[in-house]
Chain A
Amino acid sequence: MTGLVARGLTVAIDTPTGPVNVVDAVDLSVAAGRCTALVGESGSGKTLTALSLVRLLPTGAHISAGRVDLHGADGSVVDITALDDAGLRRVRGRRIAMIFQEPMTALNPLMRVHDQVGEGLEIHQGLRRRDARIRATALLERVGVPARRASAFPHELSGGQRQRVMIAAALVSDPDVVIADEPTTSLDVTVQAQVLALLRELVAERQMGLLLITHDLGVVAQVCDDVTVLYAGRVVEQGSAVDIFADPRHPYTRGLLASMPSVAPRGKPLPAIRGVVPPLGRWPSGCRFRDRCDHASDVCSTEPPMVQLGERRIRCVLEATS
């Protein structure tokens, strides 16, 4: 398989009371030509998981266990957790690219957009400024930014166009994997639909792997082939999008789906998950969801098993006993 495979990925944050595993033994694959969703609410560890895949963790957080293998089309395998700085530079932006949530802060406000997109071409492929601009403009047109806007500054563009610029910048080196962190969260729904359609086209056309990080299950259903649901730093459910939406197994996945206002019937209270996402590290022992779970029993205070059912993985004792 070409793409990215994380095994037992664990990220620890140093706290006054010792290290806390905010990402705990996560297994994750992003295969070429497919879109994988990493779903979770704030505090689930989804962004830290994504940042750890390219070793961009903030100070105080570090990978404490696990490996992240990047499989090339030529059969080569690189463990990203073992790379030195020079090795990381050969991977970041070149073989794995990132698209961030808020394009207004991720883009340089003083640089014209064709130069921001072209910068990657100058650095990774040694193009001269003029040639980089021409290639950048073509890429911008591909993602739906008209050529006459290529010399604009970010503030002159709409939110949707800015996000398209981010996408173009991510594509410059024809990466194997693109990681997009909430790429449409700040966009209006009609624009969101257009950007999602574009991402889906690009995955098919370029056979890249897309890891889409989001809290919106609607977005997942629209774009993704595979789904990983995170809760409190742990994978609670993993499987194909078709299977998970048809038959969510983990009580948290079920709760998330049921509480969507577009799914629930009108005129009745929304089926809410009680309680709140616990703050980092202040999780209950055993199953981290048990305080909020309607099916919790005494057995949930012990570590729940990861149950494998065909392609599906569910971290819940209910699946082990049924």
Chain B
Amino acid sequence: MTATPLLVASGLVRRFPGPGRGTVAVDDVDIAIAAGERVGLVGESGSGKSTLGRLLLRLDAADAGTVVFDGDDLTRKSGRALLPFRRAAQVVFQDPATALNPRMSVEELVAEGLIIHGLHSADRGARVRALLGEVGLDDSVRQRRPHELSGGQKQRVGIARALAVEPRFLLLDEPVSALDVSVQAQIVNLLAELSRSRGLTILFVAHDLHVVRHLCDRVLVMYRGRIVEEGPTEAMFATPQHPYTQALLAAVPVADPARRLLAVPVGPGNSDEPAVGGCRFRHRCPEALPACDVDVPALVTIGTPGRRVACHARR
């Protein structure tokens, strides 16, 4: 990576208590995101992708590891000391219906961040109107409450809210998963447009690989708490390396009855399997080697710079 990273996390670990030794939701993850970069983070449910997003935004505290934003180590900071970071890094959640306070009007929702950060006290109304225009909402929605809006409109309010404080970094946690297909495309286009016009750095968390393909420069693939592959979007889609990435891409249903998936390339996921020791994907992997039972594969560069994969079978 040539540009200075805006966000760098090293050795992030997050454990949740549970039966036995509990669950390691995020297991020793390193991540660096350059200013202006649009990064996709994909994985299935339970892969830890949302937890990793929350750790990066300090919405949750890591059990180990550091998060550095723009040269500022946030690891030991809390409360008011995080306020400048809270302005610089914003989030848009998956389900706008639960992310928006049902008793607040659209105007109040969008202005909330401005009030907290003491911004635009003189021309707040005009600022809110400009933001609504920027996300494609008509001025007439200002006095409405979330229940009076469609799913797409709610998500636009969520985006306007995040943009109000002029963040540099935006975490998008499955922002289009809850939307209708015809509306999903509108929001993906809006996000692409905004990231360009505002020069935003974006981490896009999603399970839909094709949405990520449209929006992101680089993709990280997560499986059971670890990054198993990363690389530039085009290369990753053209030649996925990790057997899990290959399975993910192959399993996305293609809208063509002539190209039906005859066999699924991986075994079924099974919650019985122990998560410790060796490669976590080995029970489902068609290429598992003896080494996979013993050693956790490290994320190593293969081929071109920026292309990394954690797989014994790819050495």
A interface residue numbers (CB < 8 A to B): 41-42, 144, 156-161, 188-194, 196-197, 215-222, 224, 241-242, 245, 255-257, 259-264, 266, 269-274, 276-277, 279, 292
Contact = CB atoms under 8 A, between A and B. Distances in A.
B213 A266 contact: yes
B253 to A, nearest CB: 3
A215 B181 contact: yes
Contact of A191 (B183, B192, B210, B268): B268
A261 B253 contact: no
B282 to A, nearest CB: 15
B257 A221 contact: yes
Contacts of A274: 186
A255 B189 CA distance: 15
A15 to B, nearest CB: 17
B180 A215 contact: yes
Contacts of B253: 189, 192-193, 196, 216, 218-219, 221-222
Contacts of A159: 45
A264 B188 CA distance: 12
11 contacts: A41-B180, A41-B182, A188-B45, A189-B209, A216-B253, A224-B257, A266-B213, A269-B189, A270-B189, A270-B214, A273-B182
A262 B186 contact: no
Contacts of A196: 253, 261
B192 A160 contact: no
A160 B180 contact: no
Nearest to B187: A272
A62 B258 CA distance: 39
A144 B214 CA distance: 35
Contacts of A241: 257
B264 A261 contact: no
Interface of B: 44-45, 150-153, 180-186, 188-189, 192-193, 207-211, 213-214, 233-234, 247-248, 250-264, 266, 268-271
Given A156-B271, A158-B270, A193-B250, 5 more contacts: A160-B268, A256-B182, A259-B181, A261-B185, A276-B152
Closest 5 CB pairs of A and B: A218-B253, A272-B185, A188-B44, A261-B210, A270-B185
A221 B254 contact: yes
Contact of A272 (B189, B251, B268): B189
A6 to B, nearest CB: 24
Nearest to A156: B271
Contacts of A276: 150-153, 180, 182-183
Contacts of A255: 182
Nearest to A271: B185
B261 A193 contact: yes
Contact of A218 (B185, B189, B252, B270): B252
A260 B210 CA distance: 9
Nearest to A222: B253
Nearest to A243: B257
B186 A272 contact: yes
A118 B181 CA distance: 38
A16 to B, nearest CB: 17
